[in-house]
Amino acid sequence: MTKVFNFCAGPAMLPIPVMAKAQQEMVNWQNTGCSVMELSHRSNEFVAVAKQAEADLRELMAIPDNYKVLFCHGGGRGQFSAVPLNLLAQGKSADYIVSGSWSKAAASEAKNFGDVNVIDVVTNTEQGKGVQPSSQWRLTKDAAYIHYCPNETVDGIEIFEVPETKGVPLVADMSSMILSQEIDVSKFGVIYAGAQKNIGPSGLAIVIVRDDLLNQAISTTPSIMNYTLIANNGSMYNTPPTYAWYLAGLVFEWLKELGGVKKIAQVNQEKSVLLYKAIDQSDFYTNNIAEQNRSLMNVPFWLVNEELNSEFLAQAEAAGLTALKGHRSVGGMRASIYNAMPLAGVQALVDFMKKFAQEVN
Ligand SMILES: *Cc1c(COP(=O)(O)O)cnc(C)c1O
């Protein structure tokens, strides 16, 4: 088997044992004679898969009983619409914290549905681009909710503190950091994540919503985006993305066997320290994010001599290190090092970076 280390930001690499199991079960799932893809979502067999996936996610994230877990269509951006449709009641406004391109996009989508107060929290400090501490955010007192993005996938900016909102429901787009570190779910009103970064294949979004936030959707909300309707139907109001749900379940099982979120968080810490150190200790590569906001999952970096970009990418590719090209809006390189990326992958990248710098210098 030839295998590369895939640093794609999303859809991202999946754990090899997960894909091996999916492959083994593909044609004849648990002796049903069918693929799990071919089973009715209402069959006992699929319902068991679906329930187990939810139970495992609840265990991994220690989700309290007063939260519903929804398996939805439409990815992360689907939730950019679903959140205001479900939570932004008439006559209210919502605060949108902007710390990078995804939170900006979420704010601009929400404007289609109601009053939005955009709060830009990016600052330039001596150590680089960072985010103001949440105590300095100019929040609106009676906002319907506060939306933010803990990890900006494109910009490589992470907010590690959970903002204090004085009782206003906190909504977080955790698409690129869910399950990467322990979080206290009880501090959030809604958590959502597109699956294709840290959970499974694309096409699925996970929504974790506190019970008291249900039953407020505006009347024109499409049924398949209505949290209450989805919750009341066990995420099977319409046919859910069954195969993605099944694969997400395999990823949860893999993570549990590995020792859970606490354990993977240590590995993630180790991986990111290794990579940032390699960048900081060279005068060949740079990263412009202030240390306290450096993402553990998405590490952008630039070659000081940008003329070498395409040579770097070509040689990396030849060395089995793929998808390192930075997002078109920021340029340079980006290494996405989600849960499925082993430490050995980051080590291989760091070794390659050192060798490349030496050889072209
Ligand atoms: C990838 C991503 C999205 C968009 O997800 P889609 O499934 O493509 O809609 C939204 N927010 C964040 C933080 C992301 O990383």
> Tokens standing for 257?
């066997």
In a domain, 9, yes or no: no
Domain final residue pick, 257, 275, 304: 257
> Tokens standing for 270?
């180790």
Q: Where residue 305 sits, what CATH number does that domain have?
A: 3.90.1150.10
In a domain, 3, yes or no: no
197 is catalytic: yes
pLDDT at residue 54, as a whole number? 98
Same domain, 242 and 264: no
Same domain, 244 and 266: no
Ligand 1 close to Cβ of residue 176 (< 6 A): yes
**φ/ψ (deg, to 5) at 55:** -60, -40
pLDDT at residue 2, as a whole number? 57
Query: CA distances (Å), 124 to each of 87, 131, 137, 148, 328, in order?
Result: 33, 8, 15, 19, 22
Same domain, 230 and 140: yes
What's the total number of domains in the chain? 2
Same domain, 194 and 304: no
**Number of residues written out for the chain:** 361
In a domain, 31, yes or no: yes
Same domain, 114 and 187: yes
Helix axes 44-61, 260-280, angle to 10 degrees: 60
Same domain, 201 and 293: no
**Contacts of 43-46 spanning 24+ positions with Cβ under 8 A:** 46/242, 46/246
Same domain, 157 and 235: yes
Domain final residue pick, 206, 227, 257: 257
245 is catalytic: no
Which one of 99, 101, 153 would you pick to mutate in the ligand 1 pocket, going by the greatest count of ligand atoms within 8 A of its CB?
Answer: 153
pLDDT at residue 1, as a whole number? 44
pLDDT at residue 89, as a whole number? 85
Same domain, 129 and 199: yes
Q: Could you say which of 68, 197, 271, 325 is catalytic?
A: 197
- Model confidence, pTM: 0.98
Same domain, 143 and 178: yes
Domain final residue pick, 233, 257, 281: 257
Same domain, 138 and 207: yes
| Residue 337 structural domain | 260-360
pLDDT at residue 93, as a whole number? 97
pLDDT at residue 360, as a whole number? 87
Same domain, 168 and 297: no
pLDDT tens track for 75-97: 999 999 999 999 998 889 999 99
Q: Could you say which of 56, 95, 102, 271 is catalytic?
A: 102
Distance 138 CA to ligand 1 centre (A): 26
Pairing mode, strands 93-98 and 115-120:
parallel
Helix axes 309-318, 343-360, angle to 10 degrees: 130
Do residues 182 and 131 make contact, with C-beta atoms less than 8 angstroms apart? no
In a domain, 272, yes or no: yes
Q: Looking at the CA of residue 152, tell me the nearest atom of ligand 1.
A: 13
Name the residue at shortest CA distance from atom 10 of ligand 1.
76
Name the residue at shortest CA distance from atom 14 of ligand 1.
175
pLDDT tens track for 217-237: 999 999 999 999 999 999 999
Q: Which residues of the chain have pLDDT under 70?
A: 1-2
Ligand 1 close to Cβ of residue 102 (< 6 A): yes
Residue 50's nearest CA partner among 31, 29, 71, 67 is 71
> Tokens standing for 267?
């590995």
Same domain, 90 and 159: yes
254 is catalytic: no
